[in-house]
Structure 1
Amino acid sequence: MYRYDEFDHDFVQARVAEFSDQVLRRLAGEITEDQFRPLRLMNGVYLQLHAYMLRIAVPYGTLNGKQLRMLGHIARKYDKGYGHFTTRQNIQFNWPALSDIPAILADLASVEMHAIQTSGNCIRNVTADHFAGAAADEVADPRPYAEILRQWSSVHPEFSFLPRKFKIAVTGAERDRAAIQTHDIGLHLKKNAAGELGFAVYIGGGQGRTPMVARKIRDFLPEVDLLSYCTAILRVYNLYGRRDNKYKARIKILVHETGVEEITRQVEAEWQELKDAELKLPDADIRAIQAYFAPPALTDRPDGDAAVKLARLDSKSFSDWLDQNVVTHRHPDYAAVTISLKGIGEVPGDASDSQMEAVADIAEKYAFDELRVSHEQNLILPHVARADLKAVYDALVDIGLATANSNLISDIIACPGLDYCALATARSIPIAQEISRRFASLERQREIGELKLKISGCINACGHHHVGHIGILGVEKKGSELYQVTLGGSADENTSVGEIIGRGFSSEEITDAIEQIVETYLGLRLNPQEKFIDAYRRVGPAPFKEALYAGEAKAA
């Protein structure tokens, strides 16, 4: 993984010193909250419903044991003993005192971490496939390109005050695990017929009030042109993106209102002025960054299959976890492990200080000191010898993180909602907890199969409900919380926005409604292998509407 050079160290330390002075001035009353707001946002500090919140960057979701152990330390010393992993592969702390934030940033800097560009109208943390560098279906590791984009975008003078926040994601496999079509710029790393690396480029994806699927504007962009082409896109957006209405300020609106053909023409014209200048990536620089992401020395461990087979016979719970949370690695003797942060009845995405420290120990002992944060709010051990899987499982059992539910209905994405967020109009966390309890039986979850359920507590869609197979949006109506259901969303290579199914449900009704949807699916699927999303796309919304609202229609 990437290591800071001398410039990185000096830059981050300077930002810590600068913000420390700004905090002292705010605490002394020398600047108002309105004056302080743009300063704190540049350093990842939000004012939430009850307290300040600090969001820390985890570039492309990659970190090591030392860094995760530091996050555990921060949770214990400065917060309430836990942190919340987010859908941008970051982590946020919900209860730090403003006076402590400079010390937190200094602690982060000591392990090459920071909170820069985790908020504000700038280029946010670049995200990537959480199995990058390990996935068996990968064309190439996308993280070196995400790192190149991180270095290019950090406090970029031209793009620090965009019309709105800007998000970029990169994937390196045909199976999109980075949700690139829900981003302002999505990059699909691929090879052309000559075997050269480059990118399919998508623009204009996003969720929020107006969800849109990104449009492909270039089928193959050579890797040397990555920065010049992204610069061209951002220049067009910076010039023409709306600043008169923040709800219409995203590039998705510009693409929609201008038309993808015209936007493509403008980007290509801008790019022609840039592509042969200083932004062309030298091959030596690309290879130098790639060297930081050289895979660990994976020695052959042919004893793995026998060890796994024996452990399966000895433990059904291990066998279930192996089937659900462990995926194929590019090396046959290894596997990638998902550590679920979605224990039954727990807060999705939360991990305690002691859990973070224990996972850091596991990563150092069994996973070459490498971890990932997924955009689905889980942790990943990307390189685990199959012979060590039982030991890893046992260690996770000891800390309550061995829930075998990856990609199942209880593996719920949820935003903090009205329990924390000043923008929220409804609670997300209690709804997620209740649904996970209703579907607590692993046998039942596995019978249902892959089903992605996502919950947002307001229209800003931080819980990605628009692209959930089942999406839940909490809204306020006449002083009460109401939950609207969408069906048919997806954030993979076949991205789609879910359809609103009908009237909303109260907090007391919503779990029953989800159960009715699930039972309807089980009754209409062609066979146990037909996934929920495939069945929905085959039959459409009608049978689900009938199941949910038939009684009301008859009464009317």
Structure 2
Amino acid sequence: MYRYDHIDQTLVDQRVAQFRDQVARRLNGSLAEEEFRPLRLQNGLYYQRHAYMLRIAIPYGLFNSKQLRTLAFIADKYDRGYGHFTTRQNIQFNWVTLEDAPDILAELAKVEMHAIQTSGNCIRNITSDAFAGVAADEYVDPRPVCELLRQWSTLHPEFAHLPRKFKFAINGAKEDRTILLCHDMGIELKKNNHELTADIYAGGGMGRTPILGSLIKTNLPWQLLPSYLTALLRVYNRFGRRDNLYKARIKILVKALGPAEFARQVEGEWLHNKAGDDNFTQAEWDRVAKHFTKPAYQTLPKLSDEQVINTANEAERVAFTRWLERNVKPHQVSGYTSVILSLKPHGTVAPGDATTAQMLAIADLADQYSFGELRATHEQNLVLADVEQSKLYELWQEAKRQKVALPNIGLLTDIIACPGGDFCSLANAKSLPIAKAIQERFDDLDYLFDLGDISLNISGCINSCGHHHVGNIGVLGVDKDGEEWYQITLGGEQGNEAAIGKVIGPSFYADEIPDVITNIINTYVEQRAENEAFIETYRRLGVTPFKEAAYKNKQENLQKKNGILVGEVAL
């Protein structure tokens, strides 16, 4: 993975010293909150419902065991013994004090981490495929491009005050694991006649107005990414809606102009800067790419599924096989696999949370089984990317002890959820109790395996940090006259068939949600064809049978409330 050079380390150290001075002036009253707010946001520090929240960048989801141990130390000393991994491949600490924030940033700087540009109207943490460099279906390893663009965008003076926040996703594999089309900027890398090129998608996003991105440029040589992206961001900077916070994202501009006209304006701007000095060179590629060489893989035979299963004790083979099916992914190198550690225990902690003890133990697992490296996923889980097949049973046993081996990856209880109203001051409703109630309702692994792939995403407000728009089932917290209600969307999907879910109708009370989800799932079970996934059944049948099932209990409850029992006269 990439290692800081002198320039990187100097920049991060200077930012820590700068912020320490800013915090001291805020605490002694010489810096007013309205002046301090943009400064703390530039360093990822938000004030939430109960305390400050610090969001730390994990660039393109890649970090190492030493860094994870530092995160565990921060959780233990400065927070409440846990951290929350987000859908943006970041980690958040929700109980930080202002006085401690500079010390936390100093600890991060010691291990080549920071919180720069995890907030504010700038280019945010650049995200990518959690399996980059090891995925069996990969065309191009996107990590060198991710790192080049991270360096290009960090503290870029021209793009420090955009109309609104700006999010990148970069993919280089056959399967899109980045939610590419739901980002302000999606970059699809590919080889074109052996040359590395990029297709550019712009104007995607979730939030108040969910839109899939539009293809505006094809076959862009990788060297020209800086000049082309500069032109694109200049058009956005010039015409983005600064007068209206809710219409300030680039997706609104692309929709208003139309993708073709937006692309034409970008091309016109690009003509003035196409040969810009900031374009990438082969020397820059070589400087960065040397950090993404393959680890010291052994020459190992590829084991069959049966051979791997037979490494387990006979009494544990059924459970081990389930874990292999859901949590273990193919690898480019013979004899190796990638393993997903689930941070979604049923009904015990919030999705994406990891305790200090778990972080320390996972760091040890990374050292022992995966060359000391880890990945954070968009689905709020962690990945050990380079595990020998012959050691999977041993790893599984260790992961079970740390409660990160639940075989529910891609299943209904692998819930994506934001912190919601328990923490976030922007939230309209709580997310975590809803996730807990659903996980408790669907706690039978046999049943979950029979249901197969179903994504369920929960957001506490329209900002969609839980990505509810692209969940097969989405749950959105809404406010009605000071009460918490929940809106259901169906038909969303991430990946190559990305789609935005549709709202099925009026919202529900919190205590109705487990029954609503149960009725939707029961309809799927009753109506599905053989080997048909939930999203396929939904597309075949349409929303009507699921909508009728979702509101079944609500109608019965309303009738009972009005003194009417189904099939009987009024009491």
TM-score normalised to the size of structure 1? Answer: 0.97
Indicate the RMSD between aligned Cα atoms, in angstroms.
1.4
Deviation, 1:314, is 4.3
Find the counterpart in structure 2 of residue 421 from structure 1.
Answer: 424
| SS of 1:372 mapped into structure 2 | strand
Superposed counterparts of 1:83-98, under 5 Å:
83-98=83-98
User: Does the C-alpha gap of structure 1 residues 552 and 20 become closer, same or farther in structure 2, counting only changes over 3 Å?
Assistant: closer
Amino acid at match of 1:39: L
Deviation, 1:242, is 0.8
Preserved contact between residue 417 and residue 456 of structure 1 (Cα < 8 Å):
yes
Runs (5+) with no aligned partner, structure 2? 560-571
Deviation, 1:318, is 1.6
Mapped partners of 2:219, 2:436: distance in 1: 43
User: Does the C-alpha gap of structure 1 residues 552 and 123 become closer, same or farther in structure 2, counting only changes over 3 Å?
Assistant: closer
Deviation, 1:279, is 2.8
**How much identity, in percent, do the aligned residues show?**
53
For residues 26-51 of structure 1, give each alpha carbon's deviation from its aligned partner in whole angstroms, at most 9, with x where no partner exists. 11111121111011001000000000
| SS of 1:218 mapped into structure 2 | strand
| SS of 1:387 mapped into structure 2 | helix
Mapped partners of 1:199, 1:46: distance in 2: 35
| SS of 2:272 mapped into structure 1 | helix
Superposed counterparts of 1:317-332, under 5 Å:
317-332=319-334
Find the counterpart in structure 1 of residue 261 from structure 2.
Answer: 262
| SS of 1:310 mapped into structure 2 | coil
Deviation, 1:309, is 2.6
Preserved contact between residue 304 and residue 385 of structure 1 (Cα < 8 Å):
no
Matched, 1:167 2:167: yes
| Number of aligned positions between the proteins | 554
Deviation, 1:129, is 0.3
For residues 399-449 of structure 1, give each alpha carbon's deviation from its aligned partner in whole angstroms, at most 9, with x where no partner exists. 111111101000000010100000101000000011011111111111111
Find the counterpart in structure 2 of residue 272 from structure 1.
Answer: 271
Amino acid at match of 1:298: Y
| SS of 1:95 mapped into structure 2 | strand
Matched, 1:516 2:525: no
| SS of 1:99 mapped into structure 2 | coil
Find the counterpart in structure 2 of residue 80 from structure 1.
Answer: 80
Mapped partners of 1:118, 1:533: distance in 2: 33
Amino acid at match of 2:379: E
Find the counterpart in structure 1 of residue 231 from structure 2.
Answer: 232
Find the counterpart in structure 1 of residue 242 from structure 2.
Answer: 243
Matched, 1:60 2:63: no
Runs (5+) with no aligned partner, structure 1? none
Deviation, 1:258, is 1.0
Superposed counterparts of 1:133-172, under 5 Å:
133-172=133-172
Find the counterpart in structure 1 of residue 38 from structure 2.
Answer: 38
Find the counterpart in structure 1 of residue 449 from structure 2.
Answer: 446
Amino acid at match of 2:512: E
Deviation, 1:549, is 3.0
Find the counterpart in structure 1 of residue 129 from structure 2.
Answer: 129
Amino acid at match of 1:217: I
Deviation, 1:548, is 2.4
| SS of 2:218 mapped into structure 1 | strand
Amino acid at match of 1:337: V
User: Does the C-alpha gap of structure 1 residues 362 and 267 become closer, same or farther in structure 2, counting only changes over 3 Å?
Assistant: same
Preserved contact between residue 309 and residue 320 of structure 2 (Cα < 8 Å):
no
Preserved contact between residue 117 and residue 154 of structure 1 (Cα < 8 Å):
yes
Deviation, 1:312, is 6.8
Mapped partners of 1:333, 1:552: distance in 2: 53
Preserved contact between residue 517 and residue 550 of structure 2 (Cα < 8 Å):
no
Find the counterpart in structure 2 of residue 383 from structure 1.
Answer: 386
| SS of 1:375 mapped into structure 2 | coil
Mapped partners of 2:225, 2:78: distance in 1: 40
| SS of 1:392 mapped into structure 2 | helix
Find the counterpart in structure 1 of residue 291 from structure 2.
Answer: 292
Find the counterpart in structure 2 of residue 310 from structure 1.
Answer: 311
Preserved contact between residue 474 and residue 481 of structure 1 (Cα < 8 Å):
yes
User: Does the C-alpha gap of structure 1 residues 471 and 551 become closer, same or farther in structure 2, counting only changes over 3 Å?
Assistant: closer
Preserved contact between residue 515 and residue 553 of structure 2 (Cα < 8 Å):
no
Among residues 481, 486, 500, which one is paired with 2:484 in the alignment? 481
Mapped partners of 2:309, 2:159: distance in 1: 50
Among residues 460, 465, 482, which one is paired with 1:462 in the alignment? 465
Deviation, 1:468, is 0.6
| SS of 2:514 mapped into structure 1 | helix
Preserved contact between residue 308 and residue 387 of structure 1 (Cα < 8 Å):
no
Find the counterpart in structure 2 of residue 190 from structure 1.
Answer: 190
Preserved contact between residue 140 and residue 191 of structure 2 (Cα < 8 Å):
no
Preserved contact between residue 312 and residue 319 of structure 1 (Cα < 8 Å):
no
Deviation, 1:310, is 2.8
Mapped partners of 1:187, 1:200: distance in 2: 6
Amino acid at match of 1:318: F
Find the counterpart in structure 1 of residue 221 from structure 2.
Answer: 222
Amino acid at match of 2:297: L
Deviation, 1:125, is 0.1
User: Does the C-alpha gap of structure 1 residues 307 and 407 become closer, same or farther in structure 2, counting only changes over 3 Å?
Assistant: closer
Deviation, 1:298, is 1.3
Preserved contact between residue 473 and residue 492 of structure 2 (Cα < 8 Å):
yes
| SS of 2:133 mapped into structure 1 | coil
Amino acid at match of 1:502: G
Mapped partners of 1:224, 1:310: distance in 2: 47
Amino acid at match of 1:266: Q
